[in-house]
Amino acid sequence: MPQDPMTNLNPVWRVGFQIREALRANNIPDRQAVDLLAEAGMPDPATQARRYPHQLSGGMCQRALIAIGLAGRPQLLIADEPTSALDVTVQRRVLDHLQRLARDRGTAVLLITHDLALAAERAEHLVVMKRGVVVESGDAQDVLANPRRDYTRQLIAAAPAMRPADRRARAAGDDIVVASELTKVYRVSRGAPWRKVELRAVDGVSFRLRRATTLGIAGESGSGKSTLARLVLGLLQPSSGTVLFDGQDIGALDRQQAFAFRRRIQPVFQNPYSSLDPVYSVFRAIEEPLRIHGIGDRRQRAQAVRELAAQVALPSSLLGRLPRELSGGQRQRVAIARALALHPEVLVCDEAVSSLDVVVQAQILDLLADLQARLGLTYLFISHDLAVIRQIADEVLVMRAGRVVEHAPTEDVFTRPQHDYTRQLLDAIPSAPTR
């Protein structure tokens, strides 16, 4: 069960076909494909089985990979970050299923994760690695309660916890982004190509994002979070509703205004492998926005690239490499450095730290907080990790099936949730590692 669905699913085959292929390879009737998707937590599995990977959210693609991994009812299941793109409720469902599989069928599970809370809750034995070397190994609870190595203690200290963040006091300014009744409707096939139904990916969403603050958006995979991010970025046109950026309707911008708008708001997408050009080196990927916007000469841009790489803890030795030569976390750091290159006013982070280990994740969150304090940056921060959202967000907007079910200051959402779905998300969070 690999980590990155976009590089492990065939883009020209329907999801159901790829699962049936795995079933046939193991001499299992392929009629179980939809059942496997359901076991992996896929909503409306019969419909999603007929879709291509690009038509699904990142979390849905991850669930398809999980279904393929379960197809052969294996004796050993190697799960490499299998739930990193999933919301906590589906994460719990999938991991509960893996535990049942291990118990009922005698299947061993090798769970690779950067989530220490997950390791504390799910693993009997824990191995801690650093740069290819085992630094600590033993009973999971013993390792987390009594770490013997500095690196293990560093990991535990860096893990986000479900406690109020010590946020720096800052004065919020006026509204820089105002979304009003945003709706995005797709017409998708159901069964036959001529049988179309409406899919309301975003349904009447409104919010205000004040300067120098962070709005966290939480919700399960497929709830419309990423579609909302693309609407705010101007990458999608809404079916109805408006997005105002600094008082201007982004849907009415001319070409020159749109070019200036792109410099003021930058994205960090969920999957860096698909957002980075595979033939561009790391250096060229980070330098490209500087070159396009005519910032500095070649020497100045080279210095800026090195500084940006250092800001996101990316070794300078990697600047000459291609994306395929980097780990998932390293690719995400490149994407973050690229987004920071133009010194934007607003950063839209779509699962920006989901693939990073807890130490680098803490560094990136600290970096974002420091940049916000120094430069007055504004963040629209999308994550399925509620512990991360609690650490960084001033307000939280909870989405489900394209709609907002709760919107309130962060501590109100976490201490006094008003909606059953919010309470369900909070109840499903893995226990924090022992400190």
User: Which two three-digit tokens encode residue 11?
Assistant: 């883009």
The whole-angstrom separation of Cα 222 and Cα 201 is 8
Of the pLDDT bands very low, low, confident and very high (cuts 50, 70, 90), residue 356 is: confident
pLDDT surpasses 70 at 172: no
Element (H, E) at 134: strand 133-139
Whole-model pTM: value is 0.76
| Of 143, 149, 109, the residue nearest 126 (C-alpha) | 143
| Of 233, 236, 237, 243, the residue nearest 263 (C-alpha) | 233
Average pLDDT, the chain: 86
Predicted local distance difference test score (pLDDT) of residue 434? 53
Q: Which of 7-16, 92-101, 220-229, 312-321 has the lowest mean pLDDT?
A: 92-101
DSSP 87-106: -HHHHHHHHHHHHHHHHHH-
Q: Which of 114-123, 185-194, 195-204, 415-424 has the lowest mean pLDDT?
A: 185-194
User: Which two three-digit tokens encode residue 423?
Assistant: 């309470």
Q: 35-58 b/e with 16+ CB inside 10 Å = b?
A: ebbbbbbbbebebbbbbebebbbb
Considering Cα of 13, then 14, then 15, then 19, what sign does the dihedral take? negative
Of the pLDDT bands very low, low, confident and very high (cuts 50, 70, 90), residue 169 is: very low
DSSP 231-252: HHHTSS--SEEEEEETTEEGGG
* CATH 3.40.50.300 segments of the chain: 5-158, 175-427
Fold of the domain spanning 175-427: Rossmann fold (3.40.50)
CB 208, CB 246: distance < 8 Å: no
Does domain 5-158 bear CATH number 3.40.50.300?
yes
